[in-house]
Amino acid sequence: MKKKNLAMIGCGTVGQGLLRIIAEKKPDLNVVAISDKLKGAIFDPNGIDVSKMLDVLENDGKIEEYKSASKKAITGLDPIETIKNCNADIMAEMTYTDIETGQPATSYIETALEQGMHVTTSNKGPAALYHAKLAKLAAKNNVQFLIEGTVMSGTPVFNLARETLTGCKITEVKGILNGTTNYILTKMENEGWSYNDALKKAQELGFAEADPTADVEGFDALAKVVILSNYLLEGNIKPDEVPRQGINEISLENIRSAAEEGLRYKLIGSTKLEGESISAYVKPVKLDLSDPLAGVGGATNALTFNTDLLGEVTIQGPGAGKIETGFSIFVDIMTILRQDS
């Protein structure tokens, strides 16, 4: 069978993680186009040498520095031009997240779906704001729109629900959806650090950005709760409909007081079916130590599914990382290849 062609829109940390996995695993796939806002763009219908491209990118080079023997290689196209001209079968969208507008990623995804391409994305913006619309567009064009990497990086959430939990009715999903805040709370409890000291260390380790607002004030977890609500529980909620509280007001005294009660603070994102409606929130919760989520420390994420046939099922794993998030895109691509074979 003819190899499928892949176009990559966005080639920062996640994109380079994906390229590394492709170089090592060698799937039945041609990478024919890469477009990145900062690094440039190339389209080569004969296929890009992934290992050579990695050598360029991992040495802070520009995409145009990649040397192709193909006379058909084109550089300098913008993302929309790349999508329209590359004749790819699959588009992997890995640009920056804008949770307020979902752009420009949503436009890239819409263009690819309209071109008859399968799409996988790790971008929370389009998935949180426009999942129903994009899924409908994918169905109209007889292609798939997959979002495994939007909630827990490469740790399976949607594949688990779709494949392993098939036949189960999921009525509630709750968990630790942000590794930065979990790291901070763990350090505060286990080592007696203040919130500010724990945050500073998280920034030094790269868990938190210089501006940690999205993490510590719960916006990152909020986007993930909306995605879970609308994908797994078939809701239609928007981010501004979900109550949100971060951990920035949790003090060391709060942590110690909870410990004296046999409880432990975690920033929990939760969504639950209540009749025909959905009840969701993001907030710090004092969990009993017997709760599986209470034992999840460090920058790890975890999620508990409440099902009709199995009761509670909890999964934990990495929620971020170059290879981990690159794997989420890779596994979606492999799903598409398997189902298209």
Which pLDDT tens digit goes with each residue over 308-340? 999 999 999 998 889 999 999 999 999 999 987
Looking at the fold, whether 287 and 189 belong to one and the same domain comes out as yes
Say if residue 257 is in the same domain as residue 336: no
Total domains in the fold of the chain: 2
Looking at the fold, whether 142 and 167 belong to one and the same domain comes out as no
pLDDT at res. 319: 87
Q: Same domain for 144 and 180?
A: no
Specify whether 306 is located in the same domain as 333.
Answer: no
Asked if 39 and 129 sit in the same domain, the reply is yes
Kindly state the average pLDDT of the residues 44-71: 92
pLDDT at position 206 is 85
CATH number at residue 104: 3.40.50.720
| Residues 116 and 166 occupy one common structural domain | no
Do both 108 and 199 map to the same domain?
Answer: no
Q: What is the DSSP letter of 12?
A: S
d(Cα 42, Cα 36) in Å, to the nearest integer?
Answer: 9
* Model pLDDT, residue 185: 97
Rounded Cα distance, 106 and 127, in Å: 9
CA distances from 179 to 33, 153, 219, 220, 231 (A): 32, 11, 13, 10, 22
| 35 and 68 inside one domain | yes
E strands in 162-218: 170-176
Q: Measuring CA to CA, which residue among 206, 227, 204, 202 is closest to residue 216?
A: 202
Instruction: Tell me the per-residue pLDDT of 157-169, one tens digit each, with 9 for 90 and over.
Output: 999 999 999 999 9
Judged against a pLDDT cut of 90, whether residue 278 lies above it is answered with yes
Based on the fold, state whether residues 107 and 241 are members of the same structural domain. no
Claim to verify: residue 224 and residue 314 sit in the same structural domain:
yes
Q: What average pLDDT does range 33-55 have in this prediction?
A: 95
Residue 121's DSSP bridge partners are: 93
CB 137 within 8 A of CB 166: no
Residue 270 predicted with pLDDT over 80? yes
Mean pLDDT in residue range 84-113 = 96
Distance CA 174, CA 97 (A): 23
The per-residue pLDDT of the chain, averaged, comes to 95
pLDDT at 207 over 90: no
**Which structural domain, as residue segments, surrounds residue 222?**
162-318
Using a cut of 0.85, tell me whether the model's pTM lies above it.
Answer: yes
Residue 1: is its pLDDT beyond 70?
no
Where helices occur in the chain by DSSP H, the ranges are: 13-25, 50-57, 79-85, 105-114, 124-140, 149-152, 158-159, 179-191, 195-204, 213-216, 219-232, 252-260, 322-340
* pLDDT confidence band for 209 (50 / 70 / 90): confident
* 187, pLDDT greater than 70: yes
CATH code of 182's domain: 3.30.360.10
Predicted local confidence at residue 341, as pLDDT? 67
pLDDT band at 176 (very low <50, low <70, confident <90, very high): very high
What would the pLDDT profile of 234-269 be if each residue is shown by its tens digit? 999 999 999 999 999 999 999 999 999 999 999 999
- Calculate mean pLDDT across residues 108-116: 98
Separation in Å, CA 138 to CA 19, 118, 146, 333: 25, 8, 10, 15
Catalytic residues: 224
Q: Residue 280: what are its φ and ψ, rounded to 5°? A: -135, 155
What per-residue confidence (pLDDT) applies to 163?
Answer: 93
Terminal Cα-to-Cα distance of the chain (whole angstroms): 8
pLDDT of 40: 95
Residue 301 — pLDDT band, cuts 50, 70, 90? very high
Segment 131-152 mean pLDDT:
97
**Same domain flag for 150 and 172:** no
